[in-house]
Structure 1
């Protein structure tokens, strides 16, 4: 068997082993393990054949490098099968998509590439040293080298394409899992939200009226009394906001879209926001920007949440920038809300729109859930980009009215 054929079979068997392990982890079907057991010794046999074809020490080193990576990959894949037997399929999937596993796949491919390059150099050296060979033999060797390189080129391209596809599939799977967890949390909240919300709103209303009455009849009270009445009123307002967020998070009403001017919408929301003097607002809305088609009440709530979060991220002051632009091809308008506050870590960004996730004290983590639900209900999307220590940018894309 030629070197080219052995390289091709090695790439094929390696792919069969990888897919068998991942299919077992994804489906729990251990028939894939039997297939793995059948092809594992065949891969080892092909690697041994390459050793025999290329016995020189410089070639042996690269083959050994490939073999070492293969043994480590087999060990991790065997661990994955063991996890599947224990019912830990998610752990098995995580193992087979871990940075170490992907690193070994790259080492394996690099080892194969070095082996073929060294083999090519060996062939060229032999051609130069054996000048007694006839011209036709040299031509045949050259053609063989080109075929070998072509085979390796397609093998490497396939391996790289496989790695890219797996990364995309892994990202899509994680996104789907996050969305599933999000929906499960919202469903759980929905089971208790209505009853708890109504039961809390009644006593909160009574308490709010009582504070209003006391502030009216104790207008000449001392500073301490007025201060504590103010604290009670603020706490009631916080509790009412939490109840409203809870109900809005699990009960998104059907939007009533209409034509809305973006600049006017931003001004309306800013007037309702408590922006301290230490925060400077920069509004950049082009006059030629088309209107959007959304529910104005719902989108005011979306942008109020985002503006408030941006201001709270800058307790020592800073800049709140609001910029909008149009994508004519997509028929959308994008609004960007930027601050230069503390920023958000990569780990927290992944959970930012999950119910009950928050990094703030005295919050329950529902504000951004409401933002995402209402934005999606209006045919839009919301995302975030952030650098810890430098600030955050929330990006809201909405359908234009054109």
Structure 2
């Protein structure tokens, strides 16, 4: 609530509170609440530690179990594959040897095709076997086996060449020679050692997995023991907290009984002082009414100030155009003509500067004409705004005579009046106005207070459109009715309102504009409440515009009967 303006009314002092109020406050101070236990806090930290540790341990155990299962499965599949591959190496080697010897014995080249078919398979099987196991200890054996294999392949290729040349007997001598058998023996022994190393590698992998499983089981047992100890500590803390809570509840029950006795005594004393407080309330209402008169005067200045902003802009533009006028160029042109008045024809036709003078005068006249039209336009705006100030003052005087008096009002006309009072500024700033007006019945209200609210909402919407920097500035006026209320809405597509400010914009003195005062929406909300309605604000956020809605009660039809 604002204080009254300085003067006679400002010297009036508000009455002091009755002495009985001091007695009530003294009784409140003397009413004490008994102590309520030790006040042990809820063991949130211990509970959180227990939950976190339990979660970490369980997740670790689950992941370790999954990883161990996955590794065991992988090792088992690898072991089975290695066993299969080792047997296949021996089988394919025998197939190749048999195919080469059969080709040398029979002279049939079909056995060479069979040899070539299984040769690539043997190479692929040996390559896969070496990829699945680490045979660093058998590197020498592998080298000897590879060398023997190359010699065998070379002998077998020689034999096939002799068979193709029609000399199967010579091929047979190579394949059944002692050199071939020696290389065959070296290759077979290398394959045996390779299989032995593979089996040893498989056995070592199984031992590793068993050790890992044993370590996991041991770690899981220690983790379970650790969690049990942790939850025992948590349970002890919870048990202590519950005991303290029981003690506190008993003490609070006792305190509630004492407070009830004190409350009964206070209610009796408050009832005895009600009449004195009502007298104080009446005097406060009188002070508030005088402060409201000051706010009405502030509202008039606020509305006139909105128009004066446009007046100031127009006057500034006219002054700038006059200061930048090219009229001095006309004086210089006239001086040149006067200087050559005796030989004006020759000057204009022969002299370089004289030839340019007519074109210069034409351009100067066009520029001066444009300055004149712009200045006239701004002066017309200036005159319209001055007339608008007169209209505002006249309307304020008309409404002020009936302030506080309720009458039958056409809300649609009242909404149009608020728009006309700011129309020149809306046109100047390029704000498009959209009307969405429904037919509503006449209502009883204070025209002065309602118009003050609507004028302020239209002005705020225009400022919001300017602050947004948009080119498609738009203001929408809506008038609807329903649910026993009339709703007058002013919607803009301007700067919008942050969510944190929606609950503060109606506070006295709060404003987000650099030149704002912070009393327009505050006084509007108070006026709406006095009219039996409410003033509401809605915005989806910064840059998304805002909607202010004035809701007024719609009287029953029999009021106007």
- The TM-score range, normalised by the shorter chain, is 0.3 to 0.5
TM-score, length-scaled by structure 1: 0.42
TM-score, length-scaled by structure 2: 0.31
Between structures 1 and 2, the one with greater helix share: 2
Higher Cα Rg, which structure = 2
